[in-house]
Amino acid sequence: MNKVFNNADEAIRDIDDGATLLVGGFGICGLPENCIAALVKKGVKDLTCISNNAGVDDFGIGLMLHKHQVKKMISSYVGENAEFERQLLSGELEVELIPQGTLATRCMAAGYGLPAIFTPAGIGTEVAIGKEIRNFNGKDYLMEMAFDADFAIVKAWKGDSMGNLVYRSTARNFNPVMAMAGKITIAEVEELVEPGELDPDHIHTPGIYVHRVFKGVNYEKRIEQRTVRKQN
């Protein structure tokens, strides 16, 4: 099975209107920038995006929001995107906010082939409305379904042609669990190497989870909030 694609346009070619996407990254760190740019270029719409956050106004998922390509966001934190806020308040965008740990574990459940998880997070809040609650050993737990996503788009530091991935520092974030969870996982990497060049002990995502990989270009790697010390 040849997993290597020439570029993002080829790799996302069959992501069509109405697809559900898992989008790696945390804030604007570790974003699959090339895949997002290709989706904006393609103009697909009515997307459901599952992501920790919605990027910022002019970067990450924010680029798709400005083009009105996203129908629904499933996220944990969305506080840095004014366009997201505007679309939410105007009723243009459907939003499901979930606890961050629940987001990660629902991804893991999908990767493990589990239909659902039970978690205490959300009990007694609006998160629990309409969901099944079970009691285990005297404590209530909320049933949350594993994600059912058509595609996962993730970004890694290094990858090989078999799809094995290595992430770098905090850019790892949600990428590994989302790579596990997509029916088709598309990985963009900064450096693409041959099998055997990655230390097996350093691989974070085994290639069994990855269906397509390509070498990305022109990474911007923005810093969302820059804090600097005054010079003396």
* Cα 77 from Cα 161, distance rounded (Å): 34
In this predicted model, what pLDDT tens digit does every residue of 115-132 receive, in sequence order?
Answer: 999 999 999 999 999 999
Q: Is residue 150 part of a domain?
A: yes
Query: Residues 135-146: pLDDT tens digits?
Result: 999 999 999 999
Q: Give the Cα separation of 171 and 184 in Å (integer).
A: 21
d(CA 175, CA 190): 14
Does residue 163 lie within any of the structural domains?
Answer: yes
Cβ neighbours for 15, distance < 8 A, ≥ 6 positions apart? 21, 39, 42, 44, 150, 151
Q: 187 is written with which tokens?
A: 């990985």
The verdict on residue 81 lying in a domain is: yes
CATH number of the domain to which 57 belongs: 3.40.1080.10
154 domain residue, yes or no: yes
Domain extent for 86: 8-119+146-215
**149-160: average pLDDT:** 98
Q: Looking at the domain assignment, is residue 195 inside a domain?
A: yes
User: For the chain, how many structural domains are there in total?
Assistant: 1
pTM score, whole prediction = 0.92
**220 in a structural domain:** no
pLDDT of residue 232: 75
State how far the Cα of 60 lies from the Cα of 208, in Å rounded to an integer.
27
> How far, in Å, are 79, 156, 160, 231 from residue 3 at the CA level?
36, 15, 10, 49
Q: Which residues of 210-229 are buried (b: 16+ CB within 10 A; e: fewer)?
A: bbbbbbbeeeeebeeeeeee
Q: Domain for residue 227, yes or no?
A: no
Confidence at residue 31, expressed as pLDDT on a 0 to 100 scale: 95
Chain-centroid distance of CA 206 in Å reads 17
d(CA 72, CA 155): 22
Please tell me the distance from the alpha carbon of residue 222 to that of residue 232, in angstroms, as a whole number.
Answer: 27
What angle is formed at CA 26 by the lines to CA 25 and CA 29, rounded to 5 degrees?
75
- Average pLDDT value for residue range 2-23: 97
pLDDT tens digits for range 20-74 = 999 999 988 999 999 999 999 999 999 999 999 888 888 999 999 999 999 999 9
